[in-house]
């Protein structure tokens, strides 16, 4: 599939979602688009996600349609994040930009006051909690509590996280780094 065909496929898939011609079964709009693209292209999930990101980055109109579909299903129809969902686009963008800056400022502060191991662990735990929230259908805070419950219940999970952080660190430092 060339770029135009891929763009049209994404647009058609979004249109089917918007018209409820596709049953998401409580699933994610973005995931459905990615998996549909994966199946259509015969590619990996990561390649389909990368391609979707590339197409949406290059087409601001389709990117807007994509986020509108996500918001329509995830916020309006499922009654989630209603305070955010009822804002106009300019207010939503302002809100997102403010929180994006807050996140970067928090990480910059962490760089100043924490070790890199703690920062990597924090980022990894955030990713794990977000993934849990998406897959089990709860909010981020509930998913974080579920994750912490699991970590408290099974110490070996903490060891796995520590090993992954060490691997990240080794990858970042590269093969030529000597302590």
Q: Which tens digit of pLDDT belongs to each residue from 51-81?
A: 999 999 999 999 989 988 988 888 888 887 7
Query: What's the pTM?
Result: 0.64
> What pLDDT score does 27 carry?
82
Between CA 38 and CA 87 the distance in angstroms is 33
Which range has the worst mean pLDDT, 8-12, 140-144, 162-166?
140-144
Q: Which tens digit of pLDDT belongs to each residue from 92-115?
A: 999 999 989 999 999 889 888 888
Between CA 49 and CA 31 the distance in angstroms is 9
Between CA 178 and CA 175 the distance in angstroms is 8
């Amino acid at each position: 599939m060339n770029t135009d065909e891929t763009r049209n496929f994404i647009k058609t898939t979004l249109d089917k979602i918007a018209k409820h011609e596709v049953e998401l079964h409580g699933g994610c709009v973005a995931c459905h688009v990615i998996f549909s693209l994966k199946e259509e292209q015969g590619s990996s999930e990561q390649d389909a996600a990368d391609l979707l990101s590339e197409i949406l980055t290059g087409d601001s109109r389709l990117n807007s349609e994509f986020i509108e579909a996500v918001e329509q299903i995830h916020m309006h129809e499922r009654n989630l994040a209603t305070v955010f969902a009822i804002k106009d686009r300019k207010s939503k963008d302002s809100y997102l930009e403010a929180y994006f800056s807050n996140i970067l400022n928090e990480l910059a502060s962490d760089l100043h006051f924490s070790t890199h191991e703690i920062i990597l662990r924090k980022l990894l735990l955030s990713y794990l909690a977000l993934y849990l929230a998406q897959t089990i259908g709860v909010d981020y805070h509930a998913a974080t509590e579920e994750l912490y419950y699991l970590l408290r219940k099974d110490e070996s999970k903490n060891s796995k996280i520590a090993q992954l952080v060490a691997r990240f660190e080794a990858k970042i430092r590269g093969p030529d780094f000597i302590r």
